A and B are shown apart, each in its own frame.
Chain A
């Protein structure tokens, strides 16, 4: 019989090793899955993990990696603050949408003024503010009325999607768009475009995500706020005794994660996406939850996890088009990553032992 035994102290080794093992387990599972679907498993894996990085067309895929990875990393970083402190923002997707709408709104309102020093910064501020404000709704409700921020933030995603549709079809619709839904293309409006170098996939969202990684790293290693976030998550009573204000912590964590999601939304809409359209959001806000945990809620870990996740997206597309793998199979593959991480995570706190015979 196999039994699980609680470790006296969490294992250092497994705490870092679990994500690696999870990736390997996912690969094995994926290979089996692809084989069952009648596709060559090794080739499928290499299409996912090798092709985008080192394949013939990597000049096309590598920029995609930055484009997909940046919003994941930025949003996951914000979420990790709250997750460490036991504050569960599940609605980053909504904050992402509202950030994009607010930022795009400013950009569209200023159109066609040409002043890059003004328009893009104003849009960034508006985007960050939009995400921040949207996250403040569950924040203030929790602080004032002790509502559950998980439910409220999640419900607000659906509200945000309705708003997005209304905007894309109404107020933000391109007047020169011949009746098609969707706004003007912001990436073609020089002062509003978030592109720095489109051919390499560089846009302001990438830069800001990297800056956020550095800030988060400093926050957690050097700053009292990072210490308080950890303290509140590990020992809430000790945190209260130490003088951590729980309400302020909730607002801070939700506010920062909202603002980061908002910035991610804005840099997406004014760059890679270009237009405010009904199907603008593709689930970065939810995937970022996986990225945050896969990265151990650690800034550098999140950077690596974001890159890995982006790789499975792009590699998934490659496998889909070249091998004809169904999209659902790729999604199952990504889901497996989280599952196996959670499963293997048990080893951080427990040890597996074999036991013979029955126990009295």
Chain B
């Protein structure tokens, strides 16, 4: 047997109150696509950050190419041949692609040579990308390509991808997978984290499953069903959301010819959107991110004020009301970006509970915050939504991605809203927690609330929506009953969406 490319032995890393990794060992061969599976907070990100030199393990060793590997910082890891694509991009929107790539390099070559290199790499690996385009104009998938190309330029031996597909469209996922297969055929090892089990089955050769920081099993994804893998992760059986077919009731919210410019420099304006939300309705809104999703949520939550008569709640014109006034009426929202938008990263969970819930939960009296009551509410969210954290005093930043998402969604649902608007509610959330969130959304609707779910995940939308509409360049298609919609019909509704071809790889 040949020596494996990378070997991890007994890695342990503890944070105050949690053991993120406990005695983790496994091996990665050259040319292997290795999946890391596990629930939210199982310790996947911590493990790959250890490999990338961002986290120092308490105990344990790593070897690369048979030699001991102890990166003190990402630069050392990169020099040794480790590259990583983070879920949250670190790009400057106002700069072009080549400039962004140069910023990530230690000794960038002259711009023209770099642009040439980017072109070559993007052609070789089937990642269509023009080096002179401004990043602000790129889609999420294209931005990710910038990050990937930045990695490929350093000829990595191991490429780490932490939840790369949660922001991609199905077409973009196909393009990405072609690239990864090509890299694999050249002998690059890929360490791949995702909660999308079908993707893992399509792409990965081996999988290591983590639970509460420990390795609890391994499997060959091709020969294991998604359900089996999910159950391996949870250590129990998986609950599939179900809904009782409820009657839809009176009209709660009426959106009439909603048009609004985007406040963001590279945003999409909303154009003439019309939609009616009834009690008990779950309306799914599909479409590629960046087509007005953020703006639509903002216009409904009150972050963006709109003209008279465009948004009405129970017959009252609310287009000019600020967020707090809308929450008082019963309109809650959960934006897509959890760090810095839905939650303040450096504040505790208690403080983050006060962020949106102070009106509906009566957390303030004459402007004075009742911190005891706020802490209790934060505790309730943590308990009811199974947020894995030592307690409400912890900073939002210290939660794993999926756990913060659970907290944010839980905070809004537990306020008992009349209307709830969520954008990517299960982004980065593991299969069982995603099922729990969807169930909670359905329960809310069953209690008579109207729910708008904006998502890129068509399966998710089909699972929970009564009606489906597509958002495309700021326009919303006419909603149609979700039951019985065929893939072709959905495709037509999304029509005009960037129809990207899978790049041909030679």
Decide yes or no whether B38 CB sits under 8 A from chain A.
no
Nearest CB on B from A67, distance (A): 34
- How many chain A residues have a CB neighbour from B under 8 Å? 21
Q: Residue of A at shortest CB range from B364?
A: A224
| A9 vs B337: C-alpha distance when bound (angstroms) | 21
Known contacts A222-B369, A231-B347, A235-B345; decide if A243 and B75 are in contact (CB<8 Å).
Answer: no
| A115 vs B446: C-alpha distance when bound (angstroms) | 70
Decide yes or no whether B323 CB sits under 8 A from chain A.
yes
Nearest CB on B from A6, distance (A): 10
A residues 226-258 with Cβ under 8 Å of B? 227, 230-231, 234-235, 237-243, 245
Contact A241 B341 (CB under 8 A): yes
Contact B302 A243 (CB under 8 A): yes
Decide yes or no whether A5 CB sits under 8 A from chain B.
yes
Q: Residue of A at shortest CB range from B322?
A: A243
Contact B369 A242 (CB under 8 A): no
Known contacts A235-B340, A237-B340, A242-B356; decide if A223 and B367 are in contact (CB<8 Å).
Answer: yes
Q: Provide the A88-110 mask, 1 if CB < 8 A to any CB of B, else 0.
A: 00000000000000000000000
Decide yes or no whether A328 CB sits under 8 A from chain B.
no
Residue with the greatest number of chain B CB neighbours at <10 A, chosen from A230, A237, A239: A237
Return the contact of B343 from the options A224, A238, A359 (Cβ within 8 A): A238
Decide yes or no whether B95 CB sits under 8 A from chain A.
no
Q: Give the residues in chain A near B395, CB-CB below 8 Å.
A: 9
Q: Give the residues in chain B near A241, CB-CB below 8 Å.
A: 301, 303, 323, 333, 335, 341-342, 355-356
Q: Residue of B at shortest CB range from A355?
A: B72
Q: Give the residues in chain A near B371, CB-CB below 8 Å.
A: 222
Decide yes or no whether A225 CB sits under 8 A from chain B.
yes
A contact patch SS = helix
Contact B347 A237 (CB under 8 A): no
Contact A222 B354 (CB under 8 A): no
Decide yes or no whether A178 CB sits under 8 A from chain B.
no
A residues 316-356 with Cβ under 8 Å of B? none
Q: Give the residues in chain B near A360, CB-CB below 8 Å.
A: 79
Q: Give the residues in chain B near A5, CB-CB below 8 Å.
A: 73
B residues 305-356 with Cβ under 8 Å of A? 322-325, 327, 333, 335, 337, 340-347, 351, 354-356
Contact B75 A359 (CB under 8 A): yes
Q: Give the residues in chain A near B355, CB-CB below 8 Å.
A: 231, 238, 241-242
Decide yes or no whether B358 CB sits under 8 A from chain A.
yes
Contact A238 B346 (CB under 8 A): no
Known contacts A234-B344, A241-B342; decide if A224 and B367 are in contact (CB<8 Å).
Answer: yes
B residues 280-306 with Cβ under 8 Å of A? 301-303
Contact B75 A238 (CB under 8 A): no
Q: Residue of A at shortest CB range from B75?
A: A359
Known contacts A5-B73, A9-B395, A241-B335; decide if A222 and B344 are in contact (CB<8 Å).
Answer: no
Contact A238 B340 (CB under 8 A): yes
Nearest CB on B from A334, distance (A): 32
Nearest CB on A from B229, distance (A): 31
Q: Give the residues in chain B near A222, CB-CB below 8 Å.
A: 368-369, 371
Residue with the greatest number of chain B CB neighbours at <10 A, chosen from A222, A223, A224: A224
Nearest CB on A from B385, distance (A): 19
| A241 vs B335: C-alpha distance when bound (angstroms) | 9
Contact B73 A240 (CB under 8 A): no
Q: Residue of A at shortest CB range from B263?
A: A240
Contact B369 A223 (CB under 8 A): yes
Contact A237 B341 (CB under 8 A): yes
| A326 vs B301: C-alpha distance when bound (angstroms) | 62
Q: Give the residues in chain A near B337, CB-CB below 8 Å.
A: 237
| A227 vs B368: C-alpha distance when bound (angstroms) | 10
Known contacts A227-B351, A243-B322, A360-B79; decide if A238 and B344 are in contact (CB<8 Å).
Answer: yes
Residue with the greatest number of chain A CB neighbours at <10 A, chosen from B76, B335, B344, B371: B344
Q: Give the residues in chain B near A242, CB-CB below 8 Å.
A: 323-324, 355-356
| A306 vs B345: C-alpha distance when bound (angstroms) | 32
| A5 vs B76: C-alpha distance when bound (angstroms) | 13
Contact B323 A224 (CB under 8 A): no
Known contacts A5-B73, A223-B368, A231-B347; decide if A243 and B340 are in contact (CB<8 Å).
Answer: no
Q: Give the residues in chain A near B341, CB-CB below 8 Å.
A: 235, 237-238, 241
Q: Residue of B at shortest CB range from A218?
A: B368
Q: Give the residues in chain B near A230, CB-CB below 8 Å.
A: 347
Q: Residue of A at shortest CB range from B334?
A: A241
Q: Provide the A1-32 mask, 1 if CB < 8 A to any CB of B, else 0.
A: 00001000100000000000000000000000
| A227 vs B370: C-alpha distance when bound (angstroms) | 12
Q: Give the residues in chain B near A227, CB-CB below 8 Å.
A: 351, 354, 369
Q: Provide the B64-76 mask, 1 if CB < 8 A to any CB of A, else 0.
A: 0000000001011
Q: Residue of B at shortest CB range from A232?
A: B344
Nearest CB on A from B353, distance (A): 11
Known contacts A241-B323, A241-B335, A243-B324; decide if A225 and B367 are in contact (CB<8 Å).
Answer: yes
| A240 vs B302: C-alpha distance when bound (angstroms) | 9
Contact B340 A245 (CB under 8 A): no
Return the contact of B369 from the options A9, A224, A234, A239 (Cβ within 8 A): A224
Nearest CB on A from B447, distance (A): 25
Known contacts A9-B395, A241-B301; decide if A224 and B358 are in contact (CB<8 Å).
Answer: yes
| A223 vs B367: C-alpha distance when bound (angstroms) | 6
Q: Give the residues in chain B near A237, CB-CB below 8 Å.
A: 337, 340-341
Q: Give the residues in chain A near B368, CB-CB below 8 Å.
A: 222-224
Nearest CB on B from A217, distance (A): 13
Nearest CB on B from A225, distance (A): 7
Q: Residue of A at shortest CB range from B49?
A: A8
Q: Give the residues in chain B near A243, CB-CB below 8 Å.
A: 302, 322-325, 327
Q: Give the residues in chain A near B301, CB-CB below 8 Å.
A: 241
Nearest CB on B from A82, distance (A): 19
Return the contact of A234 from the options B325, B347, B358 (Cβ within 8 A): B347
| A242 vs B368: C-alpha distance when bound (angstroms) | 16
Nearest CB on A from B28, distance (A): 23
Nearest CB on B from A250, distance (A): 16
B residues 360-385 with Cβ under 8 Å of A? 364, 367-369, 371
Contact A235 B369 (CB under 8 A): no
Q: Give the residues in chain A near B356, CB-CB below 8 Å.
A: 241-242
Q: Residue of A at shortest CB range from B357?
A: A242
Q: Give the residues in chain A near B73, CB-CB below 8 Å.
A: 5
Q: Please name 18 pairs of A and B residues whose Cβ atoms are closer than 8 Å in the assembled complex, sorted by A.
A: A9-B395, A224-B358, A224-B368, A227-B369, A234-B344, A234-B346, A237-B337, A238-B343, A238-B355, A240-B323, A241-B303, A241-B323, A241-B341, A241-B355, A242-B324, A243-B323, A243-B325, A243-B327
Given contacts A235-B347, A241-B341, A242-B355, 11 further A-B contacts (CB under 8 A): A5-B73, A223-B367, A225-B367, A230-B347, A234-B346, A235-B341, A237-B337, A240-B303, A241-B356, A245-B322, A359-B75
The 7 closest A-B pairs by CB, nearest first: A243-B324, A243-B323, A235-B344, A237-B341, A238-B344, A242-B355, A360-B79
